[in-house]
Amino acid sequence: MLIGTVPFGLVAGASAVEQHLGVGAGMGFSTIVFAGASQLAAIDVLGHGGGALVAIVAAITINLRMVLYSASMAPHLVREKQWRRMVMAYLLTDQAYGVSISRWDEGEADERKFPFFLGAGLTLWLFWVVSTFVGGLIGNRVPKDLPLDFAVPLVFLVLLVPALAAKPAVVAAATGGSAAVLATQLGGANVSIITGAVVGITCGVIAEIVIERRAGSDGAGGTDHDPDSGLDPDLGLDTGPAPA
């Protein structure tokens, strides 16, 4: 994941310089906002003359998926102290969430959940801040034909593929991804991520319910009647030996 995060950070740093905001603004975004897609959206708004309020709304809208991540993590953190949860909220990213929730769902001990998340979050934070700084310094020297932007979807693909271990997850990924692309094509780029998340979660839950009901109906056929037993399977009575 870090291999894909570095070029993502270079793009964020270079974008701030290209929009005439300076290296300092790029570093401020990376240390305060600390959210790649939201940073790029806010930088783009400010670079094209938009107001700070519009930039903030754009960043928050794109980052609404963090609410879903937080809800997923909450049952694992009920025993954690408030200050620890606040630290985790600051360090919460797609990557830190992905590796941590997978580990926690496997039965990680409560006392090890915060240290594990902290290790993932701080490692990503360090790489992100350093790569943003480097991107701001060398942004104008990076060849235009070098597809650094392609690193952005690669980062999310690394998170997605290992999670496709069950049919509901596959349904959620397919429908959510399709909805996000469709929303973008229809002009809703700023809400495409949350649109895809809502559609994907909904379809994934429906798929899980359907699969569970099918499994339940397959296992609810009752006990097969042995014709030689002389037992009525519905009444539990001895009806005598079956005729030859």
Position 231 scores a pLDDT of 45
In percent, how much of the chain has pLDDT > 70?
Answer: 84
Higher pLDDT, 189 or 239: 189
pLDDT reported for residue 191: 78
**Rounded distance between C-alpha atoms, residue 235 and residue 227, angstroms:** 15
Q: Where are the domains of the chain?
A: 1-140, 164-218
pLDDT grade, residue 219 (50/70/90)? low
**Between 107 and 24, residue with greater pLDDT:** 24
Confidence tier at 147 by pLDDT (50, 70, 90):
low
Task: Please return the burial class of 209, using the count of CB atoms within 10 Å of its CB with bins 0-12, 13-18 and 19+.
Answer: exposed
Q: What is the pLDDT at residue 140? A: 66
pLDDT single digits (tens) 72-127: 899 999 888 999 999 999 999 888 888 888 888 878 888 899 999 999 999 999 99
For residue 244, pLDDT over 50 is answered with no
pLDDT above 70 for 235:
no
Distance CA 178, CA 31 (A): 32
58/147: higher pLDDT = 58
Residue with tokens 């780029």: 189
Three-state SS at 231: strand
Q: Are 16 and 26 in contact (CB under 8 A)?
A: yes
165 vs 28, residue with greater confidence: 28
Write out pLDDT tens, residues 48-74: 888 889 989 888 888 888 888 898 899
pLDDT at 163: 72
CA dist list (Å): 144 to 48, 128, 147, 148, 149: 20, 21, 8, 9, 11
**Alpha helix locations (H) across 74-150?**
82-91, 94-105, 110-138
Per-residue pLDDT of 148-193, as tens digits, reads: 667 667 777 777 777 777 888 889 889 998 998 998 888 877 678 7
216: which 2 tokens? 């339940």
The stretch 142-151 carries a mean pLDDT of 67
Amino acid identity of 41? A
Amino acid at 93: T
Mean pLDDT of 224-232: 48
Rg, C-alpha atoms of the chain: 25
Q: Please, are residues 225 and 233 in contact by the beta-carbon 8 Å criterion?
A: yes
